[in-house]
Amino acid sequence: MGTHHNPRFEQLVDQARARITETDVATIRARQERGEAFTLIDVREESEWQRGHLPAAVHLGKGIIERDAETHFPDLNTPLVLYCGGGYRSALAAEALQRMGYTNVASMDGGYRGWTTARLPIVTPDAQ
């Protein structure tokens, strides 16, 4: 990914990734283009969301997703795809949702940076 994190954080994310489903930017874009039904959740900080986010995404930051997920998604089988800046925070959040009983959760590896690198559309405050 190009981003270097502390070793213990990397280990924590690697452990989460071993227990979750990961997907990638190209797969999510293809699913959108096919009109598949799923909810895209941006788990980044509010300030990151405000600078730009993926179209049709909802914002539930990693700091509150466990608290608020059940309110927004009472059906534990709801297809959820989480993303963050690069796929680290979303992997941790996906694992937490699975522990809460959600059965159809994936983390988008590459995250927002991967999406923008692929020159896919984003929503920015100026465009809203």
Does 46 qualify as catalytic in the annotation? no
Rounded to 5 degrees, φ, ψ at 83 are -140, 160
Q: Specify whether the CB–CB gap between 58 and 97 falls below 8 A.
A: no
How many other C-beta atoms lie within 10 A of the C-beta of residue 75? 10
32-42: buried (b, 16+ CB within 10 Å) or exposed (e) per residue? beeeeeebbbb
Q: Measured in whole angstroms, how far is the alpha carbon of residue 62 from the centre of its chain?
A: 9
**Nearest one of 34, 17, 18, 14 to 26, comparing CA atoms:** 34
The residue from 54, 69, 84, 108 that is catalytic is 84
**Which positions are catalytic?**
84
